[in-house]
Amino acid sequence: MLGLLINEKEKEELMYLLKREMDEILFDLQDGRIDHVVKRAINEKYKILFNLFKRMGTERECLAYVREKQNTEKNQE
């Protein structure tokens, strides 16, 4: 296990970067031109970013980025 000590300004910047990246991933997952294999890799990246986001975000912020399991399975097909 690793620890990270950051101040409030750094936390805000990290939250901004995570939100921006997750928004881009969600947009890409909606694109029908992207191959399902690539979407699977993108989805794995989203899971990692969301796990980081959960450690710093409020419950309300996290709920905005929770993906429904049904949508995830449909997008992978």
Residue 2 lies in a domain: no
Residue 16 structural domain: 8-76
Residue 52 lies in a domain: yes
Torsion of Cα atoms, 72 then 77 then 74 then 52, to 10°: 10
pLDDT of residue 68: 78
Residue 58 lies in a domain: yes
pLDDT of residue 48: 96
Residues in contact with 11: Cβ distance below 8 Å, sequence separation at least 6, in sequence order: 56
Residue 14 lies in a domain: yes
Residue 1 lies in a domain: no
Helices (H), 1-77: 8-30, 36-56, 59-65, 69-76
Residue 12 lies in a domain: yes
The values of phi and psi at residue 35, to 5°, are -60, 145
Total tally of structural domains belonging to the chain:
1
Residue 60 lies in a domain: yes
Residue 18 lies in a domain: yes
pLDDT of residue 75: 52
Q: What pTM was estimated for this model as a whole?
A: 0.79
Q: What is the pLDDT of residues 1-58, one digit of tens each?
A: 888 899 999 999 999 999 999 999 999 999 999 999 999 999 999 999 999 999 999 9
